[in-house]
Structure 1
């Protein structure tokens, strides 16, 4: 399984994965409340996707199985992980871990020493198991991980024409 840089052609399918993942997998965060789900997914659209692709320094990744997108991740130029979502049918298959590693590697290649994120309740154990720790004094689930690993075993993701 490999992450690749997203393209404009991925906008519809990628946005759908984001909305489905939030709606179906993040129950601990939204408790099925339609208003919370609607607010959380409001910007998970093809138009937002195109804006994310244009964000300077950001890397938007997807993972495909056959030709179907099953995971979406995004890290900004400062090492803040903004998205890490998996299609419900691909949960517990290493998709989120692969995306996380791609985002960490992209940040390390930029010379950053740390990645940060704000975790959902649903994903806190996942991030803790992968070396992220709550930041001291953080009010919410803001976590960070030093990027001390070498990049030798993690080549740069393939760029595809969009």
Structure 2
């Protein structure tokens, strides 16, 4: 009988060890499933964002390049960094984030002011951005942004990049 009683605690320990090993295996499998679902969700979110961006860029037709030549002064030809969309396919709407943002004929502070834009006013991104960035003091902030070519209020010109955004929101710290 002494042999039987010593065998019982060994069986209990063995069953407990097998139980814990089973829980550990199950937990690792469950973590792998969760990781896969997060990865799939991230991929689908990226696809949705890219689709929205592409849909936004192809929204409206641009006028032919010939009709823009009369609007631009000869000095307003800086080298563009990258076009937003293929020429003639459309434009992306941008919104003014600084009340009284100046639309200039050249991408620099000394450029002639063509008009002033109101807060949340929609302008058309013309597909050109300057190669370099510039730091401009806007009040409590000094962003380092490029100049962006836009069309607004019947003029085609340049605005400071911190002054426009894809969403209607006021730039905090600028006045």
TM over 0.5: no
Q: Which has the higher contact order (CA 8 A, sep 6+)?
A: 1
Structure index of larger Rg:
2
TM range (shorter): under 0.3
Task: With the length of structure 1 as denominator, give the TM-score of the two structures.
Answer: 0.26
Task: With the length of structure 2 as denominator, give the TM-score of the two structures.
Answer: 0.25
